[in-house]
Amino acid sequence: MSKISSRTLLFTILTTVFTLIVIDLYTWNHTRTFLLNGIRQDLHEKAALSLGLIDDKALENRDRVRLKQFTDEIKNLTGMRTTLIGKQGEVLADSEIPIDELNNVENHLNRKELQQALRTGSGLAIRNSATIGQELLYYAEPIRENGRVIGFIRFALLYPEFRNRMAYVTGLIARINLFLIVVVIGAVLLYWNWLTRQMENLRTPLIGQKEAPDYQMLPDQKYEEMDRIKADINAIGEKLQIAREELVSDQQLLLNIFDSLDEGVAAFDFDGLPLLNNRSFIDILKLKDGADHTRPFYDWVHFPPLIQDIESYLEKREPIKRRLKYYGDSFIEYKILPLKFNPREDSGFLVTLRDVTQLQQLETIRQDFVANVSHEFKTPLTSIRGYAETLLSEMAEDRELRKKFLEKIVSRTEHLENLVTDLLQLSRIEKNEITTIDRINPIPDIQEVAEEFMHISRSRKMKFDFEIMDFEKDIFIRASANLLHTLLSNLIMNALQYNHPEGSVWLRIKVEHEYLRIEVQDTGVGFTKEQRERIFERFYRVEAARSSYVQGTGLGLSIVRHIVELLEGKIEVESEPGKGSLFRVEFPII
């Protein structure tokens, strides 16, 4: 790139040289004309004097001898070579040429000085004399008679003075030129130096800011032009600073959003070096040390299937999606996709991750559930079918047997009905499709359930005891009468079912630490600690219970647990095989 300094210098020198040439030519020409005019004036006077001395008759008669005498005389007087020329240009006499040689002298009519003299009254020319081989100055004037040109008088003189004077003038001009050029170049350099310093005053603080995070305003400048540039740069700097801050805050916002995603995302370049990743990526992969941005993924992602998939993606560039068992019980699902900074080419690859442990568990639960439901339905259906087929066959004639089989069919059908009812109830509770939960006083509803079971237990010859521990005022909990009814019925029914004949059941209500506590206790068969862990599972039934209470579905306690969760309560169980069980439910009083 060309420099302003060199351009300025070149421009200044060219302008100066051009100006000097014009001035020089003008000066030189004028000086020359001035000098020549002086000479012309002097010679004109000499010519006028000489012509006063000329013998007109001799000129008329072309008396060469007389005319030669005249030219010699004039030469003696003036010291200049004198020539008389006829009006046709023929040389009549010359102080330097003998008369007999005059015929050999060529015609002078075309000589510059003569032509000029004809036009303007006097002619001056400087040229090399072929005769003496030196530069001579020629001056000619016409000789007139009655206004007619009858000839010319011409002086020729060696005029080294003129040359010397012109040489002096030329030398003077050259020195002045040199001086001016040196002065101009010096001035330009000094000026440039000064201007550069002014620019540096602006540039130096700017250079310092190249790496700085924030823009620092440039200081005020001494000169107006520089100060205007400073103001412009500051305005741009300020604008850039604002744009940068906006960009940073936008980026921060995006990073926050990116970080709060449940899905893990990481971008890698083709060497496998991470460019960006969010927190979920680290959390889902359980990377204790986080992502190492200086090393490729295979150094810190310790999951061989993912590493293999990334390698295969890098080879084939085909997106990959996979769900796999990760460490422990966790499952992850990942996708490997192209990373594009522009639509035309890939810049690396993206890995997105999801923790699908819960989803996988739900899937397993769903599969188990379908298997369990099918199983629970299959047993009664198989026996119904068996009894029905037997009825259709030979035994159908036996009235007693027919009755017995039909009763079995009814009982199995009841069981199926129970199953369907319980399943529907469970699904409604799970889906939250239940009557609205309100702030209610639960005591009247509990009393109602207690009365219902009082009758049932009496008909079974079992003891049922209902106790309300004294509390003075009304209490309120978040519940619905329906849900309370279902919960208590299930617990009390179990207490009656899994009990000894003539066993006892207690229903106790008390208020403790801002909680309403409901206890259902029995003197029944109880269950072991291991069984206690599982009784709330769907379809779980203690083996012995299957024969003692055939109509059971294994869903009752599941329903109880869901209701307790829905009403934000707690449930605890104590039990000892052969001695009895205690179910304790607590709801916060509001």
What residues line the site for ligand ADP (CB under 6 A)? 490, 494-495, 498, 522, 524-527, 535, 540-542, 545, 552-558, 581
* Closest CB 582 distance from ligand ADP, rounded Å: 9
Measured from the CB atom, the residue of 106 and 368 that comes closer to ligand ADP is 368
Residue 19 region, left (φ>0) first, then alpha (ψ -120 to 50), else beta?
Answer: alpha
Measured from the CB atom, the residue of 123 and 552 that comes closer to ligand ADP is 552
Q: Do residues 280 and 263 lie in contact, with contact meaning Cβ atoms separated by under 8 Å? A: yes
Measured from the CB atom, the residue of 28 and 540 that comes closer to ligand ADP is 540
Classify strands 504-512 and 570-576 as parallel, antiparallel or unpaired: unpaired
DSSP state of 290: -
> In a 3-state reduction of DSSP, which class is residue 346?
strand
* Closest CB 484 distance from ligand ADP, rounded Å: 17
479-515 in b/e form (b: 16+ CB < 10 A) is: bbbebbebbbbbbbbbbbbbbeeebbbbbbbebeeeb
**How many alpha carbons fall within 13 Å on the CB side of residue 407?**
6
* Closest CB 509 distance from ligand ADP, rounded Å: 18
319-340 in b/e form (b: 16+ CB < 10 A) is: ebeeeeebeeebbbbbbbbebe
* Closest CB 271 distance from ligand ADP, rounded Å: 58
Q: Measured between alpha carbons, how far apart are the two ends of the chain, in Å?
A: 85
Measured from the CB atom, the residue of 446 and 555 that comes closer to ligand ADP is 555
With tokens 């069981």, the residue in question is 415
Q: Give me 99's structure tokens.
A: 């008369």
* Closest CB 535 distance from ligand ADP, rounded Å: 4
Q: 443 φ, ψ to 5°?
A: -60, -50
Measured from the CB atom, the residue of 62 and 460 that comes closer to ligand ADP is 460
* Closest CB 531 distance from ligand ADP, rounded Å: 7
Tell me, rounded to whole angstroms, the distance of Cα 130 from its chain centroid: 89
Beta bridge mates, 355: 332
Measured from the CB atom, the residue of 332 and 535 that comes closer to ligand ADP is 535
Q: Which of 159, 161, 143 is nearest to 80 (CA)?
A: 159
Measured from the CB atom, the residue of 398 and 465 that comes closer to ligand ADP is 465
Measured from the CB atom, the residue of 265 and 483 that comes closer to ligand ADP is 483
Polymer length in residues for the chain: 590
Measured from the CB atom, the residue of 151 and 552 that comes closer to ligand ADP is 552
* Closest CB 301 distance from ligand ADP, rounded Å: 45
Measured from the CB atom, the residue of 281 and 527 that comes closer to ligand ADP is 527
Q: Which of 171, 116, 160, 112 is nearest to 136 (CA)?
A: 160
Q: Do residues 267 and 276 lie in contact, with contact meaning Cβ atoms separated by under 8 Å? A: yes
* Closest CB 411 distance from ligand ADP, rounded Å: 15
Q: Kindly give, in sequence order, each residue whose CB lies less than 8 Å from that of residue 499, ignoring residues fewer than 6 positions away.
A: 462, 505, 522, 523, 524, 525, 580
Residue nearest to ligand ADP (CB): 556
